[in-house]
Structure 1
């Protein structure tokens, strides 16, 4: 009897309490504790399953499962846990975002940088990218921050349906834009900048007597007149059957209160700048064009 038979009989004796060859031939089901005592190789009985981790001849598989398996599962987190296809996609997406960010920063830098060879050759492309969403305004920093609130207001002279002429009250156009922007996470560029830039354009191209300086001054009047017609129509200033005959702008400027620690004092009284009455030609109401009346200096 070989070693295996002896071991089997001994195991049977230990399990069933019987000795010798008369012990009943009961099928033996080895457990993990028995298998740990068997060396790998030809002495391992055929047809018996080794416990987990002992499938290999030298036990290397068991070492891989017990040592590298859990460690590898814990190490693969984030992008590393993705399949190679998705990892490649993530790398491409990050590369595209990085290139876009670098290009944006470069174009904005060229926009604010002094004139140079690149801006002279590619200035149009830079402006197309920057305006209007990424426009840079240095008034916040230099030479001094804005210290005034400027409100643009408008009124009109209207011919009513029965032929009477009346003058409307002042419409605070800046306050209307402020109400449209307040609480709006994505306000339009028109609401934010159309009126403000039109007024800045007018002030920069007119003298202190509101007379235009050059052709750009006349153009700024036409632009403001067009805005006036659109805003009055939106507010239904003319009423049913009424016609807007003339419009008048004014600005209301108030100083921003300085901080208490500065010791500076400023007047809180508003300062008004009234423009002359401008006639509104019929074709301006229809399509925004003008028949040349604005070229007469803007006076009524």
Structure 2
């Protein structure tokens, strides 16, 4: 009886070791800069690491972070919902629901803020750039390569749609929790990017701010409320 159990124990250890080696190999492949091997096996890395264990090492070479992103939310009552996509949105009442979390995560590195802010941060980056695998196409497009622009735009569309779904959940949670007694029907979302000031202009340069309208979404009544958007005293 001991022999089958011993074989089973050896098999479990071998499979565990193989699984760990495969996991870390795919992780390295996912975070590496674009190369022929990544182009060949990138789909497998995206389906595994990119789906369940996404990594972002853009703080380091070769492409450091060059901007700050924020998600702005405007809670809309039934009367404020625009009649069409071309109708103007309200100019007041927009609230930044992301920057405070980023600041707290930076101030408390060993707290849960890092985990709390990660889904929003990754979605903001995904909406803006689509992921590290598209960086070469962004660069080639800026240099005038029309084919690279087309490839980039095609790949960006589904990723931005996925990111927008996450934004809608965050915006809906904020509106329902911050204004519990207000009758709301939709949430308008705006993405704001603030570029870093170049080192050469560090003494008097001003950051460039650009807004992207994400659209108006029906309020999601099913999303769980996180418990940190409630106004003071409520």
Q: TM-score, normalised by structure 1?
A: 0.42
Q: 1:231 maps to what in 2?
A: 170
* Distance of aligned partners of 1:172 and 1:88 in 2 relative to their CA distance in 1, 3 Å threshold: same
Task: Give yes or no for contact 2:76–2:187 (8 Å, CA) kept in 1.
Answer: yes
Q: 2:87 maps to what in 1?
A: none
- Choose from 166, 169, 176 the match for 2:101: 176
SS in 1 for 2:58: helix
Q: 2:51 maps to what in 1?
A: 132
Task: Describe the superposition over 1:75-102 as per-residue Cα deviations: whole angstroms up to 9, x where unpaired.
Answer: xxxxxxxx99987776555433332233
- Choose from 195, 200, 204 the match for 2:129: 200
Q: 1:285 maps to what in 2?
A: 218
**Matches of 1:109 and 1:175 in 2, distance apart?**
32
In structure 2, the gaps of 5 or more residues are 82-89, 143-148, 221-234
- Does residue 274 (structure 1) correspond to residue 218 (structure 2)? The answer is no
Task: Name the count of aligned residue pairs.
Answer: 188
SS in 2 for 1:167: coil
- Choose from 2, 10, 17 the match for 1:98: 17
**Matches of 1:232 and 1:160 in 2, distance apart?**
16
Higher relative contact order (CA 8 A, sep 6+): 2
* Distance of aligned partners of 1:87 and 1:230 in 2 relative to their CA distance in 1, 3 Å threshold: closer
**Matches of 1:170 and 1:155 in 2, distance apart?**
5
Task: Describe the superposition over 1:185-217 as per-residue Cα deviations: whole angstroms up to 9, x where unpaired.
Answer: 99376245122322334995999xxxx985666
Deviation (angstroms), 1:154? 0.9
**Matches of 1:267 and 1:159 in 2, distance apart?**
44
Q: 1:187 maps to what in 2?
A: 115
**Matches of 2:77 and 2:161 in 1, distance apart?**
22
RMSD over equivalenced CA pairs, Å: 5.2
